[in-house]
Chain A
Amino acid sequence: MFLDWLFTPVSHQYEARRVELLNKIDKNNNLYAFLSVPMPALNSELSSVEIVSVDFETTGLDAVKDKLLSIGCVNMAQGQIQLGSCFHEIIAIEQPLSADNVAIHTITDNETQNGKSLKQVFDAFLMKIAGKVLLVHFNQIEREFIKQACIELYGVAPVIPMIDTLCLAKKEFARQDFPFDPQDLTLENLRKRAQLPFYQQHHALSDAIATAELYLTMIKPKCAANMQLKDVLI
């Protein structure tokens, strides 16, 4: 037991961290509801785990300096992406957007002014992902921005279990001794390799669905029955 704990990476200690934070924070804190829902165990059968595919659009890569612009996510259970569960919100930010940045995510100043506050969006977002595993492409962005936002809004940051399609691809390339270029690891190029159709890039919800589809081609639903959550978790 103790040895297990010793060799478990911090990112896998999400359940212990959840219980710890739940005992620590105030019941009026909006994070309390999120923390009340238990996380799936590391040895859960992968196909039974509920996954939320998530994508953030931001003004840059630095979670401290830059701002979160929009959040998109969609649920996936038993190898099926449920379009009825789609969530997409644009966040109001005070600073004007830079032109190159707008060119990427196509969210305009006008739209972001009509968006909701970071707190409103995050309260709702956390309820969507409570008790679920996050699926992302290139986890650093989502991980850092969630951490930063939680500290700002709730004073503490929970550990959230995550699956990253970029890491899965990297592992697979390494296993096949495939000399890859960093370019090969973009969501767009990985989808091309999996022969998935074109999608609208840099839109949070569209990217979230695109990531979920890519995941299905990597962890085929029939393989997921023989795998455990810890096999794919980062």
Chain B
Amino acid sequence: MGNELIEHLMFVQQIPPFDTLPKATVQQLVKNITITYVTAEQELTTTASLKGTILLVKKGVLAKKQSGEESSSSDHPIETIEKYSDGDLCRQLILNDDAILVVEEDALLYCLSLDSILPLLNDFPEVLQFLTASPETRLKQTIISQHATELSASPLNNSLVGDLLSKSAATIPQYHSIVQAAEKMTELGYSSLVVLKNEGATHLSDLGIITDRDIRVRCVAKSLPFTSPVSEIMTSNVISIDANSLAFDALIMMIDKNIHHLPVTKNGHLFGVITITDLMHKEAQNAAHLISVIRRAKTVDELVKVGIMLPELQLKMTKLGIAGLQIGKSISALSKALTIQLIELAQQELGNAPVPFAWFSAGSLARQEQLAYSDQDNGLIISDSVSREQLDWFKQLADFVCDGLNLCGFVYCPGNVMASNDKWRQTASVWREYFRTWIDTPSPQALLNSSIFFDLSLVYGDSQLIDDIKQYVLSKTSKSTLFLAHLSKNMQSNRPPLGFIRDFVLISSGENKSTMDLKHNAIAPIVDLARIYALALGIEETSTIERLKKVSEHKLGNSVVSRSSALSLIDAFEFLVQLKLSLYLKKHASNLPVNNYLSPKDISRLERTHLKDAFKVIKSLQDVRQAVL
């Protein structure tokens, strides 16, 4: 066939998922194309000759439409869900849903019958999956492959078992008593001992192992005399790993066998014992190390030095391929540690607090989703026993901490949601009154400003103060439909920027022209949805993922959102956080200001498709909330 169909080949080749196929396969695909021309208003869903085909729009516009809640009712006119134009792939005719496909502008279509191309795609299951799966399933697949990358980039994959051994193995002869073993373990602070079956011999076959669990399960629970020899309770068929194996393999082996201690051998002889804690420590080394530096800091300057390292740490973790949510947790933990240390330093300067208080974080930090480059959101709940004179102490504390956080890189909150603001530094009864007003007589604007206070978590101080408020809030929100309705309505102002035709709706002017705001139009809507679900069901969790997980497990969960939608939302959230982090990485690498503005041109066509999938999931759930009103 030569190069005769080169134009058609090039056209097909650039459309995902065909862009991942080898040229020879695309050439075969092209031979299966039939070209047809359809005219405006024609309904394609009922056109017999197009049944079961994938459509590539060469020219023209198709619209996917769905009738409203009740198709017969005139109150719910047929609504356009999506449009397809030049260069778009439309799978509507192979999906089994009740949407219809109508020609909006005369269109030239390249049609590929799914049956005819199936044999060609046998070797490309991911392409087939892409073509046939629903947006929700496609998103799931992306997250799974992201996790796979993450595992392969894990530090455990770059270290050898031998390098991670923190201590040499402690041994005990097999005729020693269980009491002696327990004493030795306590003295060394070890949770396992290697048992020597023949004194001095360290070959694997001469070894056994006992752990504190063996003493518990095989001795105490079975009323075996403590004077029995350790050989009675040891595991003698010891599994081991060579010191030159990858640490990751050790982890997999331990998870697989459900063991926490693994003897390490070198040339077949005992070299040490590695524990699951050793491996976990390595995995979290960077963040863990920084937290200990923070705890030891004596001055604000020392803290600032750590604070300014956070963006760097975040980039490093992104480069390593660590999951976005994990990074969010690490950064949130560090930010929390910084705040705690600042409060302690403040107390050294100001003297101890006159009455109990609770310093809380709101918004992203409370949800454990804070990333470097975020601003601070916090507040202070003071015990009702405070006197007028004592309030000044709290003002000084708040200023000290907020200024310190700002120096550490968590800039002042543009909305002034900070404990240094008098409004957000109040006694427990004033806070209770705030929440009562927001919930009982909600006004849209007030809610917009206060929604982050519904994601609260204690940073420092008296947990009772905050727990009381949270309980009060949840007991009210789960009953207040008016409040939830207002919250749902507010959420509608943050719609995903998904346009009808081809691509995304982008910012049309100003310095962020031709970009979209990932934070406000993509991540925030999911956070909002999760918050609404949690408040409606009285779920205490503050992190978005935890909220969604709890919703999906809740016995009344289906009344607010279906289980599968909640899980799809989790996938969408993970994908978007990951995308946001790699956006930061790219901006940082090209010396651009690090912000949330993403240009669709800067990501691959495939990522764009996944982004659209994520938006579709969000949009459909927002629509459901709206329909509930």
Please state if B8 and A217 are interface contacts (CB–CB under 8 Å). no
Cα distance A196–B58 when bound, in Å? 9
Please state if A82 and B34 are interface contacts (CB–CB under 8 Å). yes
Please state if A197 and B31 are interface contacts (CB–CB under 8 Å). no
Please state if B36 and A84 are interface contacts (CB–CB under 8 Å). no
- Residue of B30, B35, B39 with most chain A CB atoms under a 10 A cut-off: B35
Q: Are A212 and B35 also in contact (CB < 8 A) when A88-B2, A197-B58 are?
A: yes
Q: Are A83 and B31 also in contact (CB < 8 A) when A196-B59, A203-B4 are?
A: yes
Please state if A80 and B108 are interface contacts (CB–CB under 8 Å). no
Q: Which residues of B contact A209 (CB under 8 A)?
A: 8, 35
Please state if B4 and A197 are interface contacts (CB–CB under 8 Å). no
Indicate which residue in B4, B8, B39 contacts A222 across the interface (CB closer than 8 Å).
Answer: B39
Name the CB-closest residue of A to B116. A84
Rounded to whole Å, the gap between the CB of A159 and the closest CB of chain B is 29
Q: Are A205 and B36 also in contact (CB < 8 A) when A197-B58, A197-B59, A217-B106 are?
A: no
A127 in contact (CB, < 8 A): no
A220 in contact (CB, < 8 A): yes
Please state if A213 and B7 are interface contacts (CB–CB under 8 Å). no
Please state if A81 and B5 are interface contacts (CB–CB under 8 Å). no
Q: Which residues of B contact A206 (CB under 8 A)?
A: 4, 7
A131 in contact (CB, < 8 A): no
Q: Which residues of A contact B36 (CB under 8 A)?
A: 79-81, 216, 221
Please state if B32 and A83 are interface contacts (CB–CB under 8 Å). yes
B276 in contact (CB, < 8 A): no
A199 in contact (CB, < 8 A): yes
Q: Which residues of A contact B4 (CB under 8 A)?
A: 72, 86, 88, 203, 205-206
Rounded to whole Å, the gap between the CB of A12 and the closest CB of chain B is 27
Rounded to whole Å, the gap between the CB of B10 and the closest CB of chain A is 10
B621 in contact (CB, < 8 A): no
B37 in contact (CB, < 8 A): yes
Q: Which residues of A contact B7 (CB under 8 A)?
A: 199-200, 206
Can you list, as one digit per residue, whether each of B103-132 has a CB less than 8 Å from chain A (1) or not (0)? 000101001000000000000000000000
Please state if B8 and A83 are interface contacts (CB–CB under 8 Å). yes
Name the CB-closest residue of A to B32. A84
Interface size on A, residues (CB 8 A): 26
Name the CB-closest residue of B to A214. B37
Please state if A197 and B39 are interface contacts (CB–CB under 8 Å). no
- Residue of B2, B34, B49 with most chain A CB atoms under a 10 A cut-off: B34
Name the CB-closest residue of B to A75. B34
Indicate which residue in B37, B38, B39 contacts A213 across the interface (CB closer than 8 Å).
Answer: B37
Cα distance A222–B39 when bound, in Å? 9
Rounded to whole Å, the gap between the CB of A204 and the closest CB of chain B is 9
Can you list, as one digit per residue, whether each of A62-91 has a CB less than 8 Å from chain B (1) or not (0)? 000000000010000011111110101000
B383 in contact (CB, < 8 A): no
Rounded to whole Å, the gap between the CB of A191 and the closest CB of chain B is 10
Rounded to whole Å, the gap between the CB of A115 and the closest CB of chain B is 12
Please state if B106 and A83 are interface contacts (CB–CB under 8 Å). no
Cα distance A83–B32 when bound, in Å? 6
Can you list, as one digit per residue, whether each of B17-52 has a CB less than 8 Å from chain A (1) or not (0)? 000000000000011111111110010000001000
List CB contacts (< 8 Å) of B95-109 with chain A: 106, 108
A195 in contact (CB, < 8 A): yes
Please state if A196 and B108 are interface contacts (CB–CB under 8 Å). yes
Name the CB-closest residue of B to A82. B34
Please state if A221 and B34 are interface contacts (CB–CB under 8 Å). no
B1 in contact (CB, < 8 A): yes
Rounded to whole Å, the gap between the CB of A11 and the closest CB of chain B is 26
Indicate which residue in B6, B30, B34 contacts A200 across the interface (CB closer than 8 Å).
Answer: B6
Can you list, as one digit per residue, whether each of B507-545 has a CB less than 8 Å from chain A (1) or not (0)? 000000000000000000000000000000000000000
Q: Which residues of B contact A197 (CB under 8 A)?
A: 58-59, 86, 108
Q: Are A80 and B49 also in contact (CB < 8 A) when A206-B7, A221-B37 are?
A: yes
Please state if A220 and B5 are interface contacts (CB–CB under 8 Å). no
Cα distance A196–B7 when bound, in Å? 14
Cα distance A84–B4 when bound, in Å? 12
Q: Are A84 and B35 also in contact (CB < 8 A) when A78-B49, A203-B4 are?
A: no
Please state if B49 and A220 are interface contacts (CB–CB under 8 Å). no
- Residue of A80, A195, A217 with most chain B CB atoms under a 10 A cut-off: A80
Please state if A80 and B111 are interface contacts (CB–CB under 8 Å). yes
Q: Are A79 and B37 also in contact (CB < 8 A) when A86-B1, A88-B2, A206-B4 are?
A: yes
Name the CB-closest residue of B to A194. B106
Q: Which residues of A contact B30 (CB under 8 A)?
A: 83
Name the CB-closest residue of B to A220. B39
- The 4 tightest CB contacts between A and B, nearest first, are A216-B37, A81-B35, A80-B34, A83-B33
29 residue pairs of the A-B complex, CB under 8 angstroms, read: A79-B36, A79-B37, A79-B49, A80-B34, A80-B35, A80-B49, A81-B34, A82-B34, A83-B5, A83-B8, A83-B33, A83-B34, A84-B31, A86-B4, A88-B1, A88-B2, A196-B108, A197-B59, A197-B86, A206-B4, A206-B7, A209-B35, A213-B35, A213-B108, A216-B37, A216-B108, A217-B37, A220-B39, A222-B39
State the B residues within 8 Å of A (CB).
Answer: 1-2, 4-8, 30-39, 42, 49, 58-59, 86, 106, 108, 111
Q: A203-B4, A216-B108 are in contact. List 8 more A-B contacts (CB 8 A).
A: A81-B35, A83-B30, A84-B31, A86-B31, A196-B59, A205-B4, A209-B8, A217-B37
